Amino acid sequence: MKITRHEVERVAVLARLALTDKELDAMTGQMNQLLDYVDTLNRLDTDGIVPTAHAVPVENAFRDDVVRPSIGSERALMNAPAAADNYFRVPKIIE
């Protein structure tokens, strides 16, 4: 086993996913199958190989720091599950 059910639970906490017991069981089996499969990469010696983050070489794209029109708060809030006074509304964080 590459990953135990307990570790899968820990990953679900990191991923902010509430998984049911049934989902955790299934996920443990499937993640082990997939991790076994991706293990084939370890057959390759990659010492000294430079990792590729982007296939097409791109330099950092700088632009002048000037204020430009943006979509505005009305459109920014149009899909908000809850909004009030021009802000997104979230559950209480500080007791």
Q: Which residues bind another protein (CB under 8 A)?
A: 3, 7-8, 11-12, 14-19, 23, 27, 30-31, 33-35, 37-42, 44, 46, 49-56, 58, 61, 63, 71, 75-76, 78-82, 88, 90-93
- Distance in Å, CB of 55 to another protein, minimum: 2
What is the SS3 string spanning 35-61? HHHHHHHHHCCCCCCCCCCCCCCCCCC
- Distance in Å, CB of 86 to another protein, minimum: 13
In angstroms, how far is the first alpha carbon of the chain from the final one?
Answer: 42
